[in-house]
Amino acid sequence: MANLYYVERGTALAVGATVEIGGEEGRHAVRVSRLRVGERILLGDGAGAIGGGVVVRTDRDRFAVELDEVRTDAEASPRVTLVQALAKGDRDERAVEQATEFGVDRVLPWQAARSVSRWDGAGGAEKAAKGVAKWARIAREASKQSLRARIPEVGSPISSEELRAAAADPDRAVIALHPRGGRTLSEWAARFAAGAVRASGASAPAEASHPREILLVVGPEGGFSDAELDALESAGAEILVLGTTVLRTSSAGPAGLAVLNVALGRW
């Protein structure tokens, strides 16, 4: 299996082109991965284009590849976003890594009421920026490992108010994974894939189109507060369960993505 390396933003990938990779990406490939002339590898722009070719030149901290094939993957529809609650230790980071491997399209951090890890308070803006940057690095590395043409976007933290607004948006379907749910995610996903699920926002018209984005919301170690669940449900969100067991915050999101991938025909 060929290794994947990402080119700098703005670099075009075309059949017959010789593309040079430098910087940290090139340095790691040559010095750590011991990339050699003649090896076949993949190059991607992280935005859908991915090409294959043979390494034609290496230097101390850079290498060049002559591309003989290029493809462009279309954006997935509907887009699937993981809203991951901040968690202690590295549990939220593990969720980002696995969700990327499972094909998530976007990740949004969420500071829930019961989140032990906090990005607010003194120096909150700087702490949040560093946290988002770290999650983005994790998503990039996981994308390389799983040979993804698209690196998932890691957005700015979403507030509880913004989540409630999303739940009322007819273009979005918001799902909170919690044992209080009366239906399973697999049941909901099957109906969604069959076109039986329509926008359920409080103000959604009867003729609303099929939602273009699914937001899968995962709580922290202590779970959602009753107030959070009540607010989301009243705004139109679905409260669903994965099964008969309760998963950790680090694994609930990836497990939910697996269910959606099968129902939506991604897997």
Q: Where are the beta strands (DSSP E) in the chain?
A: 4-6, 18-21, 40-44, 49-58, 63-72, 79-85, 106-110, 153-154, 172-177, 183-184, 213-218, 238-241
Q: Which domains does the chain have, with CATH numbers?
A: 4-72 (2.40.240.20), 79-263 (3.40.1280.10)
CA 266 from chain center: how many Å? 14
Which candidate, 149, 133, 165, places its Cα nearest to that of 236? 165
Quick one: pLDDT at residue 123?
74
The DSSP output letter for 21 is: E
C-alpha–C-alpha distance, residues 36 and 234, integer Å: 58
CA 131 – CA 246 distance, rounded (Å): 27
pLDDT at 210: 80
153-154 and 106-110 beta bridge pairing: parallel
- Number of H helices and E strands in the chain, helices first, is 7, 12
pLDDT of residue 2: 78
d(CA 164, CA 169): 9
Q: Order the strands of the 63-72 sheet from edge to edge.
A: 4-6, 40-44, 49-58, 63-72, 18-21
Contact 81/212 with Cβ under 8 angstroms?
Answer: no
**pLDDT reported for residue 159:** 95
Q: In the prediction, which pLDDT does 195 show?
A: 84
155: tokens are: 């957005």
CB 63 within 8 A of CB 29: yes
pLDDT (tens, 9 = 90+) of the chain, 267 residues, equals: 579 999 998 899 999 999 999 999 999 999 999 999 999 999 999 999 999 999 999 998 999 999 999 999 999 999 999 999 999 989 999 999 999 999 999 999 999 999 999 898 777 789 999 999 999 999 999 999 999 999 999 999 999 999 999 999 999 999 999 999 989 999 999 999 988 665 444 444 433 458 999 999 999 999 999 999 999 999 999 999 999 999 999 999 999 999 999 999 999
β 153-154/172-177 pair status: unpaired
